[in-house]
Protein backbone atom coordinates (compact mmCIF):
# COMPACT_ATOMS: atom_id res chain seq x y z
CA UNK A 1 0.00 0.00 0.00
CA UNK A 2 3.04 2.30 0.15
CA UNK A 3 2.40 3.48 -3.40
CA UNK A 4 -1.11 4.58 -2.46
CA UNK A 5 -0.10 6.31 0.78
CA UNK A 6 2.61 8.20 -1.10
CA UNK A 7 0.16 9.18 -3.84
CA UNK A 8 -2.47 10.14 -1.22
CA UNK A 9 -0.11 12.75 0.25
CA UNK A 10 0.39 14.37 -3.12
CA UNK A 11 -3.23 14.14 -4.18
CA UNK A 12 -4.36 15.82 -0.97
CA UNK A 13 -1.97 18.73 -1.45
CA UNK A 14 -2.39 19.27 -5.13
CA UNK A 15 -1.02 22.77 -5.54
CA UNK A 16 1.84 24.13 -7.60
CA UNK A 17 3.64 22.02 -10.15
CA UNK A 18 2.62 18.43 -9.41
CA UNK A 19 5.39 16.86 -11.43
CA UNK A 20 8.12 18.92 -9.76
CA UNK A 21 6.70 18.32 -6.30
CA UNK A 22 6.58 14.54 -6.75
CA UNK A 23 9.98 14.24 -8.38
CA UNK A 24 11.50 16.44 -5.65
CA UNK A 25 10.04 14.23 -2.88
CA UNK A 26 13.02 12.31 -1.59
CA UNK A 27 10.81 9.88 0.37
CA UNK A 28 9.49 8.29 -2.81
CA UNK A 29 11.08 5.15 -4.19
CA UNK A 30 9.22 5.29 -7.48
CA UNK A 31 8.23 8.91 -8.21
CA UNK A 32 7.39 8.06 -11.83
CA UNK A 33 4.75 5.59 -10.75
CA UNK A 34 3.34 7.94 -8.09
CA UNK A 35 3.13 10.79 -10.58
CA UNK A 36 1.34 8.66 -13.20
CA UNK A 37 -1.18 7.51 -10.60
CA UNK A 38 -1.89 10.96 -9.15
CA UNK A 39 -2.01 12.57 -12.57
CA UNK A 40 -4.49 10.05 -13.94
CA UNK A 41 -6.63 10.17 -10.79
CA UNK A 42 -6.90 13.95 -11.13
CA UNK A 43 -7.71 13.56 -14.80
CA UNK A 44 -10.67 11.24 -14.10
CA UNK A 45 -11.53 12.81 -10.75
CA UNK A 46 -15.12 13.76 -11.63
CA UNK A 47 -15.89 10.28 -12.96
CA UNK A 48 -14.23 8.51 -10.03
CA UNK A 49 -16.20 10.62 -7.57
CA UNK A 50 -19.38 9.91 -9.51
CA UNK A 51 -18.82 6.12 -9.33
CA UNK A 52 -17.99 6.29 -5.60
CA UNK A 53 -21.06 8.38 -4.88
CA UNK A 54 -23.46 6.27 -6.91
CA UNK A 55 -22.16 2.98 -5.50
CA UNK A 56 -22.60 4.38 -1.96
CA UNK A 57 -19.62 2.36 -0.75
CA UNK A 58 -18.47 5.06 1.66
CA UNK A 59 -21.53 4.34 3.77
CA UNK A 60 -20.71 0.61 3.96
CA UNK A 61 -16.91 0.59 4.20
CA UNK A 62 -15.67 -1.35 7.20
CA UNK A 63 -12.60 0.90 7.56
CA UNK A 64 -12.30 4.69 7.48
CA UNK A 65 -10.50 5.68 4.29
CA UNK A 66 -9.79 9.26 3.20
CA UNK A 67 -11.52 10.52 0.04
CA UNK A 68 -8.14 10.90 -1.68
CA UNK A 69 -7.02 7.34 -0.87
CA UNK A 70 -10.37 5.89 -1.94
CA UNK A 71 -10.20 7.80 -5.24
CA UNK A 72 -6.72 6.37 -5.91
CA UNK A 73 -7.82 2.81 -5.18
CA UNK A 74 -10.97 3.12 -7.29
CA UNK A 75 -8.84 4.64 -10.03
CA UNK A 76 -6.58 1.61 -10.18
CA UNK A 77 -9.43 -0.85 -9.89
CA UNK A 78 -11.57 0.64 -12.67
CA UNK A 79 -9.80 3.42 -14.54
CA UNK A 80 -6.30 1.96 -15.02
CA UNK A 81 -5.23 -0.38 -17.81
CA UNK A 82 -4.20 -3.04 -15.25
CA UNK A 83 -7.60 -2.95 -13.54
CA UNK A 84 -6.35 -3.94 -10.11
CA UNK A 85 -5.17 -2.47 -6.81
CA UNK A 86 -1.41 -2.90 -6.78
CA UNK A 87 -0.66 -4.03 -3.28
CA UNK A 88 -0.30 -7.20 -1.29
CA UNK A 89 -2.93 -8.19 1.21
CA UNK A 90 -4.06 -5.22 3.28
CA UNK A 91 -7.25 -4.49 5.26
CA UNK A 92 -7.88 -1.26 3.26
CA UNK A 93 -7.59 -3.13 -0.03
CA UNK A 94 -9.95 -5.85 1.26
CA UNK A 95 -12.47 -3.27 2.48
CA UNK A 96 -12.67 -1.71 -1.01
CA UNK A 97 -12.67 -5.03 -2.87
CA UNK A 98 -15.65 -6.15 -0.77
CA UNK A 99 -17.69 -3.67 -2.88
CA UNK A 100 -16.04 -4.44 -6.20
CA UNK A 101 -19.28 -5.61 -7.89
CA UNK A 102 -21.16 -2.44 -6.96
CA UNK A 103 -18.30 -0.25 -8.16
CA UNK A 104 -18.05 -2.13 -11.44
CA UNK A 105 -21.80 -1.83 -12.04
CA UNK A 106 -21.63 1.97 -11.61
CA UNK A 107 -18.56 2.12 -13.83
CA UNK A 108 -20.43 0.31 -16.63
CA UNK A 109 -23.37 2.70 -16.22
CA UNK A 110 -20.97 5.64 -16.47
CA UNK A 111 -19.56 4.38 -19.76
CA UNK A 112 -23.05 3.78 -21.12
CA UNK A 113 -24.08 7.28 -20.11
CA UNK A 114 -21.19 8.75 -22.07
CA UNK A 115 -21.63 6.25 -24.91
CA UNK A 116 -17.99 5.15 -24.71
CA UNK A 117 -16.32 1.78 -24.66
CA UNK A 118 -13.05 2.66 -22.96
CA UNK A 119 -11.84 4.94 -20.20
CA UNK A 120 -9.76 6.99 -22.65
CA UNK A 121 -12.93 8.01 -24.49
CA UNK A 122 -14.51 9.52 -21.39
CA UNK A 123 -14.70 13.32 -21.49
CA UNK A 124 -12.27 14.84 -19.03
CA UNK A 125 -11.40 18.34 -17.93
CA UNK A 126 -8.18 17.91 -19.84
CA UNK A 127 -9.71 16.85 -23.15
CA UNK A 128 -12.86 18.94 -22.82
CA UNK A 129 -11.95 22.36 -21.60
CA UNK A 130 -8.38 22.90 -22.54
CA UNK A 131 -7.30 24.34 -25.79
CA UNK A 132 -4.42 22.38 -27.31
CA UNK A 133 -2.73 25.69 -28.15
CA UNK A 134 -2.90 29.12 -26.51
CA UNK A 135 -3.29 31.53 -29.40
CA UNK A 136 -2.50 35.19 -29.02
CA UNK A 137 -2.09 38.05 -31.42
CA UNK A 138 0.12 41.07 -31.20
CA UNK A 139 -2.25 44.01 -30.81
CA UNK A 140 -0.94 46.05 -33.71
CA UNK A 141 -3.22 48.96 -32.77
CA UNK A 142 -1.01 49.47 -29.73
CA UNK A 143 2.40 48.24 -30.77
CA UNK A 144 4.38 47.78 -33.95
CA UNK A 145 5.23 44.07 -34.34
CA UNK A 146 8.86 45.02 -35.08
CA UNK A 147 9.14 46.78 -31.73
CA UNK A 148 7.25 44.01 -29.94
CA UNK A 149 10.11 41.52 -29.87
CA UNK A 150 12.63 44.11 -28.73
CA UNK A 151 10.37 45.26 -25.94
CA UNK A 152 9.10 41.90 -24.75
CA UNK A 153 12.03 39.54 -24.25
CA UNK A 154 9.75 36.79 -22.91
CA UNK A 155 8.58 36.05 -26.45
CA UNK A 156 11.91 36.38 -28.23
CA UNK A 157 13.37 33.76 -25.86
CA UNK A 158 10.83 31.14 -26.96
CA UNK A 159 12.05 28.50 -29.41
CA UNK A 160 10.22 28.65 -32.78
CA UNK A 161 8.56 25.49 -34.12
CA UNK A 162 7.20 24.88 -37.61
CA UNK A 163 3.82 23.37 -36.76
CA UNK A 164 1.41 24.07 -33.91
CA UNK A 165 1.33 20.30 -33.23
CA UNK A 166 4.94 20.62 -32.05
CA UNK A 167 3.90 22.85 -29.13
CA UNK A 168 4.18 19.94 -26.73
CA UNK A 169 5.63 21.90 -23.80
CA UNK A 170 6.23 25.45 -22.60
CA UNK A 171 9.22 27.28 -24.07
CA UNK A 172 8.10 26.96 -27.70
CA UNK A 173 6.33 29.33 -30.08
CA UNK A 174 4.62 28.90 -33.44
CA UNK A 175 3.96 31.77 -35.82
CA UNK A 176 0.71 31.16 -37.67
CA UNK A 177 0.86 30.70 -41.43
CA UNK A 178 -2.61 32.11 -42.06
CA UNK A 179 -3.22 35.14 -39.85
CA UNK A 180 -0.56 37.86 -39.58
CA UNK A 181 0.84 38.58 -36.09
CA UNK A 182 -0.86 35.52 -34.61
CA UNK A 183 1.14 33.07 -32.51
CA UNK A 184 0.59 29.81 -30.68
CA UNK A 185 2.24 28.73 -27.45
CA UNK A 186 1.74 25.88 -25.00
CA UNK A 187 -1.42 26.41 -22.88
CA UNK A 188 0.63 26.15 -19.68
CA UNK A 189 2.83 29.07 -20.68
CA UNK A 190 2.20 31.91 -18.25
CA UNK A 191 1.08 34.42 -20.86
CA UNK A 192 -1.28 36.37 -18.62
CA UNK A 193 1.62 37.20 -16.30
CA UNK A 194 3.64 38.88 -19.03
CA UNK A 195 3.95 42.64 -19.28
CA UNK A 196 2.76 42.49 -22.89
CA UNK A 197 -0.52 40.93 -21.79
CA UNK A 198 -0.98 43.34 -18.89
CA UNK A 199 -0.43 46.29 -21.24
CA UNK A 200 -2.95 44.93 -23.76
CA UNK A 201 -0.18 44.59 -26.33
CA UNK A 202 -1.09 40.97 -26.85
CA UNK A 203 -4.65 39.71 -27.00
CA UNK A 204 -5.57 36.09 -26.37
CA UNK A 205 -7.82 34.96 -29.19
CA UNK A 206 -8.43 31.56 -30.69
CA UNK A 207 -6.95 31.20 -34.16
CA UNK A 208 -10.18 30.43 -36.02
CA UNK A 209 -11.93 33.28 -34.27
CA UNK A 210 -9.41 35.57 -35.99
CA UNK A 211 -10.65 34.48 -39.41
CA UNK A 212 -13.64 36.88 -39.79
CA UNK A 213 -11.75 40.16 -39.39
CA UNK A 214 -8.98 38.90 -41.65
CA UNK A 215 -11.41 37.70 -44.33
CA UNK A 216 -13.30 40.98 -44.19
CA UNK A 217 -10.46 43.42 -44.40
CA UNK A 218 -7.08 41.85 -45.10
CA UNK A 219 -6.78 44.27 -48.02
CA UNK A 220 -7.70 47.19 -45.74
CA UNK A 221 -10.34 48.19 -48.29
CA UNK A 222 -13.07 48.94 -45.74
CA UNK A 223 -12.82 52.15 -43.74
CA UNK A 224 -16.13 51.91 -41.90
CA UNK A 225 -17.39 48.57 -40.74
CA UNK A 226 -19.96 47.10 -38.38
CA UNK A 227 -19.45 44.24 -35.98
CA UNK A 228 -23.11 43.31 -35.56
CA UNK A 229 -22.83 40.99 -32.53
CA UNK A 230 -19.79 42.33 -30.86
CA UNK A 231 -19.40 41.41 -27.17
CA UNK A 232 -17.03 40.53 -25.62
CA UNK A 233 -15.19 42.22 -28.46
CA UNK A 234 -12.42 39.98 -29.69
CA UNK A 235 -13.40 40.24 -33.31
CA UNK A 236 -14.13 43.95 -32.88
CA UNK A 237 -10.63 44.79 -31.69
CA UNK A 238 -9.13 42.49 -34.31
CA UNK A 239 -11.21 44.22 -36.98
CA UNK A 240 -9.96 47.59 -35.67
CA UNK A 241 -6.40 46.41 -36.31
CA UNK A 242 -7.22 45.96 -40.03
CA UNK A 243 -8.60 49.47 -40.52
CA UNK A 244 -6.57 51.63 -42.87
CA UNK A 245 -4.88 54.83 -41.69
CA UNK A 246 -7.79 57.18 -42.18
CA UNK A 247 -9.27 59.71 -39.82
CA UNK A 248 -12.77 58.37 -40.54
CA UNK A 249 -11.85 54.73 -39.89
CA UNK A 250 -14.19 53.08 -37.41
CA UNK A 251 -15.71 49.80 -36.24
CA UNK A 252 -19.26 50.21 -34.97
CA UNK A 253 -19.56 47.49 -32.36
CA UNK A 254 -23.23 46.64 -31.84
CA UNK A 255 -24.32 44.62 -28.83
CA UNK A 256 -27.83 43.96 -27.56
CA UNK A 257 -27.11 42.68 -24.08
CA UNK A 258 -26.60 45.34 -21.41
CA UNK A 259 -24.12 43.41 -19.28
CA UNK A 260 -22.12 42.33 -22.27
CA UNK A 261 -21.97 45.90 -23.55
CA UNK A 262 -20.02 46.81 -20.43
CA UNK A 263 -17.52 44.03 -21.08
CA UNK A 264 -17.30 45.15 -24.69
CA UNK A 265 -16.52 48.72 -23.61
CA UNK A 266 -13.81 47.60 -21.19
CA UNK A 267 -12.25 45.26 -23.74
CA UNK A 268 -12.30 47.92 -26.45
CA UNK A 269 -10.71 50.57 -24.20
CA UNK A 270 -8.01 48.11 -23.22
CA UNK A 271 -7.34 47.15 -26.81
CA UNK A 272 -7.16 50.71 -28.13
CA UNK A 273 -5.52 52.81 -25.48
CA UNK A 274 -6.03 56.55 -25.19
CA UNK A 275 -4.89 57.69 -28.63
CA UNK A 276 -6.95 55.37 -30.79
CA UNK A 277 -10.21 55.55 -28.84
CA UNK A 278 -12.20 56.62 -31.90
CA UNK A 279 -11.46 53.39 -33.79
CA UNK A 280 -14.27 51.55 -32.00
CA UNK A 281 -17.71 52.99 -31.29
CA UNK A 282 -19.83 50.81 -29.08
CA UNK A 283 -23.58 50.88 -29.76
CA UNK A 284 -25.90 49.31 -27.23
CA UNK A 285 -28.63 48.19 -29.58
CA UNK A 286 -30.39 45.26 -31.17
CA UNK A 287 -28.69 45.06 -34.54
CA UNK A 288 -31.88 43.99 -36.30
CA UNK A 289 -33.47 47.24 -35.12
CA UNK A 290 -30.79 49.47 -36.59
CA UNK A 291 -31.77 51.36 -39.70
CA UNK A 292 -29.38 50.49 -42.55
CA UNK A 293 -30.03 53.89 -44.13
CA UNK A 294 -28.43 55.51 -41.05
CA UNK A 295 -25.21 53.68 -41.95
CA UNK A 296 -25.01 54.50 -45.63
CA UNK A 297 -21.20 54.57 -45.62
CA UNK A 298 -20.70 51.11 -44.12
CA UNK A 299 -19.05 48.79 -46.64
CA UNK A 300 -18.16 45.75 -44.54
CA UNK A 301 -19.85 43.81 -41.76
CA UNK A 302 -19.01 40.95 -39.44
CA UNK A 303 -21.98 38.94 -38.19
CA UNK A 304 -21.02 36.53 -35.43
CA UNK A 305 -24.40 35.84 -33.82
CA UNK A 306 -25.37 33.74 -30.83
CA UNK A 307 -25.07 30.07 -31.73
CA UNK A 308 -25.10 26.65 -30.08
CA UNK A 309 -21.39 26.98 -29.28
CA UNK A 310 -20.98 23.34 -30.20
CA UNK A 311 -17.45 24.00 -31.46
CA UNK A 312 -16.32 25.05 -28.00
CA UNK A 313 -14.74 22.24 -26.02
CA UNK A 314 -17.02 20.21 -23.82
CA UNK A 315 -20.20 21.41 -25.45
CA UNK A 316 -20.32 19.29 -28.60
CA UNK A 317 -21.50 16.16 -26.84
CA UNK A 318 -24.20 17.91 -24.88
CA UNK A 319 -27.17 16.59 -26.79
CA UNK A 320 -29.81 18.37 -24.76
CA UNK A 321 -28.20 21.69 -25.54
CA UNK A 322 -28.12 21.01 -29.24
CA UNK A 323 -31.38 19.35 -30.00
CA UNK A 324 -33.00 19.85 -33.40
CA UNK A 325 -35.54 22.36 -32.18
CA UNK A 326 -32.95 24.57 -30.60
CA UNK A 327 -30.75 24.46 -33.67
CA UNK A 328 -33.74 25.32 -35.85
CA UNK A 329 -34.54 28.33 -33.68
CA UNK A 330 -30.95 29.51 -33.70
CA UNK A 331 -30.68 29.03 -37.46
CA UNK A 332 -33.77 31.11 -38.19
CA UNK A 333 -32.42 33.91 -36.00
CA UNK A 334 -29.07 33.64 -37.77
CA UNK A 335 -30.77 33.98 -41.16
CA UNK A 336 -32.77 37.01 -39.98
CA UNK A 337 -29.75 38.84 -38.58
CA UNK A 338 -27.73 38.06 -41.70
CA UNK A 339 -30.51 39.31 -43.98
CA UNK A 340 -30.48 42.54 -42.04
CA UNK A 341 -26.71 42.84 -42.51
CA UNK A 342 -27.05 42.17 -46.22
CA UNK A 343 -29.53 45.05 -46.52
CA UNK A 344 -27.01 47.78 -45.72
CA UNK A 345 -27.04 49.96 -48.83
CA UNK A 346 -23.29 50.31 -49.43
CA UNK A 347 -22.16 46.96 -48.01
CA UNK A 348 -19.99 45.00 -50.40
CA UNK A 349 -18.71 42.29 -48.04
CA UNK A 350 -20.38 40.53 -45.11
CA UNK A 351 -18.62 37.80 -43.16
CA UNK A 352 -20.84 35.37 -41.30
CA UNK A 353 -19.36 33.21 -38.55
CA UNK A 354 -20.28 30.84 -35.72
CA UNK A 355 -18.43 28.73 -33.20
CA UNK A 356 -20.72 25.86 -34.07
CA UNK A 357 -19.87 22.63 -35.84
CA UNK A 358 -23.45 22.00 -36.96
CA UNK A 359 -24.28 22.38 -40.65
CA UNK A 360 -27.71 23.68 -39.56
CA UNK A 361 -26.10 26.88 -38.28
CA UNK A 362 -23.43 27.05 -40.94
CA UNK A 363 -23.71 25.82 -44.54
CA UNK A 364 -27.50 25.59 -44.28
CA UNK A 365 -27.79 29.21 -43.16
CA UNK A 366 -25.62 30.15 -46.13
CA UNK A 367 -27.83 28.07 -48.43
CA UNK A 368 -31.00 29.69 -47.08
CA UNK A 369 -29.52 33.11 -47.71
CA UNK A 370 -28.30 32.28 -51.20
CA UNK A 371 -31.77 30.90 -52.03
CA UNK A 372 -33.53 33.99 -50.76
CA UNK A 373 -35.02 36.10 -53.53
CA UNK A 374 -34.36 39.37 -51.72
CA UNK A 375 -30.73 38.47 -51.06
CA UNK A 376 -30.34 37.44 -54.70
CA UNK A 377 -31.91 40.64 -55.95
CA UNK A 378 -29.53 42.65 -53.79
CA UNK A 379 -26.73 41.05 -55.78
CA UNK A 380 -25.11 38.99 -53.04
CA UNK A 381 -22.97 35.95 -53.90
CA UNK A 382 -20.67 33.75 -51.97
CA UNK A 383 -17.06 34.79 -52.42
CA UNK A 384 -14.71 32.39 -54.15
CA UNK A 385 -12.00 30.55 -52.24
CA UNK A 386 -9.24 32.87 -53.43
CA UNK A 387 -10.88 35.72 -51.48
CA UNK A 388 -11.52 33.70 -48.33
CA UNK A 389 -8.33 32.65 -46.61
CA UNK A 390 -7.23 30.51 -49.58
CA UNK A 391 -4.31 28.96 -47.70
CA UNK A 392 -6.66 27.31 -45.17
CA UNK A 393 -7.42 23.75 -46.26
CA UNK A 394 -10.61 22.91 -44.40
CA UNK A 395 -13.54 24.40 -46.30
CA UNK A 396 -17.33 24.15 -46.00
CA UNK A 397 -19.03 20.78 -46.38
CA UNK A 398 -19.48 20.29 -50.12
CA UNK A 399 -22.29 17.77 -49.87
CA UNK A 400 -24.48 20.33 -48.09
CA UNK A 401 -24.51 22.51 -51.20
CA UNK A 402 -26.29 19.80 -53.16
CA UNK A 403 -29.36 21.67 -51.93
CA UNK A 404 -28.37 24.42 -54.39
CA UNK A 405 -26.81 22.55 -57.27
CA UNK A 406 -26.30 19.00 -58.49
CA UNK A 407 -23.07 19.97 -60.17
CA UNK A 408 -20.20 18.76 -57.91
CA UNK A 409 -17.94 21.47 -59.26
CA UNK A 410 -20.41 24.18 -58.20
CA UNK A 411 -20.80 22.56 -54.78
CA UNK A 412 -17.03 22.58 -54.41
CA UNK A 413 -16.83 26.24 -55.36
CA UNK A 414 -19.60 27.19 -52.93
CA UNK A 415 -17.95 25.23 -50.13
CA UNK A 416 -14.74 27.06 -51.05
CA UNK A 417 -16.41 30.34 -50.03
CA UNK A 418 -16.59 28.97 -46.48
CA UNK A 419 -13.93 27.92 -43.98
CA UNK A 420 -14.29 25.45 -41.18
CA UNK A 421 -12.08 24.58 -38.27
CA UNK A 422 -12.44 21.32 -36.35
CA UNK A 423 -12.20 21.49 -32.55
CA UNK A 424 -8.78 20.39 -31.18
CA UNK A 425 -7.66 18.85 -34.47
CA UNK A 426 -7.10 22.30 -35.98
CA UNK A 427 -5.53 23.62 -32.80
CA UNK A 428 -8.51 25.37 -31.24
CA UNK A 429 -12.28 25.66 -31.21
CA UNK A 430 -14.68 24.44 -33.89
CA UNK A 431 -15.55 27.36 -36.11
CA UNK A 432 -17.24 28.32 -39.34
CA UNK A 433 -17.06 31.41 -41.52
CA UNK A 434 -18.58 32.32 -44.86
CA UNK A 435 -18.05 35.42 -46.92
CA UNK A 436 -20.76 37.17 -48.94
CA UNK A 437 -19.74 39.70 -51.54
CA UNK A 438 -21.31 41.90 -54.13
CA UNK A 439 -19.87 44.27 -56.62
CA UNK A 440 -20.91 47.87 -56.63
CA UNK A 441 -24.16 48.36 -58.54
CA UNK A 442 -24.92 44.64 -58.54
CA UNK A 443 -28.65 44.24 -58.45
CA UNK A 444 -31.59 42.17 -59.58
CA UNK A 445 -30.76 42.36 -63.26
CA UNK A 446 -27.18 41.20 -62.88
CA UNK A 447 -28.36 38.41 -60.69
CA UNK A 448 -30.80 37.12 -63.27
CA UNK A 449 -28.19 37.30 -66.01
CA UNK A 450 -25.90 35.16 -63.87
CA UNK A 451 -28.67 32.63 -63.40
CA UNK A 452 -29.12 32.26 -67.12
CA UNK A 453 -25.40 31.95 -67.67
CA UNK A 454 -25.05 29.19 -65.08
CA UNK A 455 -28.01 27.21 -66.27
CA UNK A 456 -26.14 25.86 -69.23
CA UNK A 457 -27.97 22.56 -69.43
CA UNK A 458 -31.23 24.49 -69.44
CA UNK A 459 -32.93 22.49 -66.72
CA UNK A 460 -33.61 25.66 -64.80
CA UNK A 461 -32.54 24.49 -61.38
CA UNK A 462 -28.84 25.12 -61.35
CA UNK A 463 -27.87 28.33 -59.67
CA UNK A 464 -24.27 28.92 -58.76
CA UNK A 465 -24.63 31.48 -55.99
CA UNK A 466 -20.95 32.32 -55.96
CA UNK A 467 -19.11 35.22 -57.35
Q: Is 210 annotated as a binding residue?
A: no
**Nearer CB in complex with ligand SAM: 76/304:** 304
Contact 152, 196 (CB under 8 A): yes
Decide: is 330 part of the binding site for ligand SAM (CB under 6 A). Answer: no
Q: Is 455 annotated as a binding residue?
A: no
Report how far apart, in Å, the C-alpha atoms of 259 and of each of 93, 255, 265 are: 53, 10, 10
Residues 6+ apart with CB under 8 A from 331: 360, 361, 364, 365, 368
Residues 169-228 that bind ligand SAM (CB under 6 A): 209
Q: Least Å distance between CB 267 and ligand SAM?
A: 8
Question: Which one of the spans 253-261, 316-324, 415-423, 440-448 is the region binding ligand SAM (CB under 6 A)?
Answer: 253-261
* C-alpha–C-alpha distance, residues 227 and 213, integer Å: 9
Binding mask 349-388 for ligand SAM (x = CB under 6 A): ----------------------------------------
Can 411 be counted among the known catalytic residues? Answer: no
**Nearer CB in complex with ligand SAM: 181/464:** 181
Contact 466, 381 (CB under 8 A): yes
* C-alpha–C-alpha distance, residues 168 and 200, integer Å: 26
Contact 8, 68 (CB under 8 A): yes
- Answer for which of 175, 306, 343, 384 binds ligand SAM (CB under 6 A) is 306
Q: Least Å distance between CB 420 and ligand SAM?
A: 17
Q: Least Å distance between CB 414 and ligand SAM?
A: 24
Q: Least Å distance between CB 141 and ligand SAM?
A: 16
Decide: is 234 part of the binding site for ligand SAM (CB under 6 A). Answer: yes
Question: Which one of the spans 42-50, 73-81, 299-307, 310-318 is the region binding ligand SAM (CB under 6 A)?
Answer: 299-307
Q: Least Å distance between CB 425 and ligand SAM?
A: 21
Report how far apart, in Å, the C-alpha atoms of 30 and of each of 40, 69, 75 are: 16, 18, 18
- Answer for which of 57, 179, 231, 435 binds ligand SAM (CB under 6 A) is 231
Q: Is 233 annotated as a binding residue?
A: yes
- Answer for which of 3, 57, 254, 316 binds ligand SAM (CB under 6 A) is 254
**Nearer CB in complex with ligand SAM: 48/216:** 216
Decide: is 292 part of the binding site for ligand SAM (CB under 6 A). Answer: no
**How many residues bind to ligand SAM according to rule CB under 6 A?**
20
Q: Is 235 annotated as a binding residue?
A: yes
Question: Which one of the spans 163-171, 173-181, 256-264, 390-398 is the region binding ligand SAM (CB under 6 A)?
Answer: 256-264
Q: Least Å distance between CB 221 and ligand SAM?
A: 21
Decide: is 72 part of the binding site for ligand SAM (CB under 6 A). Answer: no
Q: How many residues does the chain have?
A: 467
Q: Is 177 annotated as a binding residue?
A: no
The residue nearest ligand SAM at its CB is 229
- Answer for which of 288, 377, 384, 422 binds ligand SAM (CB under 6 A) is 288
**Nearer CB in complex with ligand SAM: 194/306:** 306
- Answer for which of 7, 38, 65, 229 binds ligand SAM (CB under 6 A) is 229
Q: Is 294 annotated as a binding residue?
A: no
Q: Which of 307, 355, 435, 447 is catalytic?
A: 355
Decide: is 256 part of the binding site for ligand SAM (CB under 6 A). Answer: yes
Q: Least Å distance between CB 408 and ligand SAM?
A: 33
Q: Is 228 annotated as a binding residue?
A: no
- Answer for which of 31, 132, 305, 430 binds ligand SAM (CB under 6 A) is 305
Question: Which one of the spans 230-238, 323-331, 341-349, 429-437 is the region binding ligand SAM (CB under 6 A)?
Answer: 230-238
* C-alpha–C-alpha distance, residues 461 and 452, integer Å: 10
Binding residues for S-adenosyl-L-methionine: 229-235, 255, 286, 304
Q: Which residues bind ligand SAM (CB under 6 A)?
A: 209, 229-235, 254-257, 260, 286-288, 304-306, 337
Q: Which residues are catalytic?
A: 355
Amino acid sequence: MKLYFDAERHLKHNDGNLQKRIFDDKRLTNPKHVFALVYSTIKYKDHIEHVIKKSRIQRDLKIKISDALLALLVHDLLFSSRGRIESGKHPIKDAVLAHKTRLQAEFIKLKLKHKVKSVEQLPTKENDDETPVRWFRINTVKIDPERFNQKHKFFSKLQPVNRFQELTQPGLIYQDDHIPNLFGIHPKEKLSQTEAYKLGEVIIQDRASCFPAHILNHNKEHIKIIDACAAPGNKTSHAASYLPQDENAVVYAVERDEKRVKILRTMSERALGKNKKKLIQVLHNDFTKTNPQDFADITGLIVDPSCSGSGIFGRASDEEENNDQRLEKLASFQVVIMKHALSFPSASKVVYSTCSIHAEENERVVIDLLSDRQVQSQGWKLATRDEVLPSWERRGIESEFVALSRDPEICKQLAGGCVRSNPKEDGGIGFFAACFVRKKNDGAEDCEDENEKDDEDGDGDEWSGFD
